[in-house]
Copies of this chain bind each other. A is one copy, B any other.
Amino acid sequence: MIKATVYVTIKESVLDPQGNTVQGALHSMGFQEVNNVRIGKYMELTLDTTDKTEAEQRITEMCEKLLANTVIEDYRFELN
């Protein structure tokens, strides 16, 4: 059993309207010190395998095909 943690973030060059909205909300609540917010996804996957090399390859494939939209998003992952 391997646990994979996947982080999907919007690319630096791409606007993040969700992040801007959260930043606006924080400002209006008095958190003026917040000057940038970027929002991404955090995923925990449990894999029925013990082979880390294979898991790494499979997770990369899952990210490329489904978990991330590589046109506008970056991804990275950790295996435990």
Contact = CB atoms under 8 A, between A and B. Distances in A.
Interface of A: 7-9, 19, 22, 25-26, 29, 31-49, 58, 61-62, 65-67
A79 B67 CA distance: 26
B58 A31 contact: yes
22 contacts: A9-B42, A22-B43, A22-B66, A22-B67, A26-B66, A32-B48, A33-B48, A33-B58, A34-B45, A34-B48, A34-B62, A35-B48, A36-B46, A37-B43, A37-B45, A37-B46, A38-B43, A39-B41, A39-B42, A39-B44, A40-B42, A40-B44
B43 A41 contact: no
B42 A46 contact: no
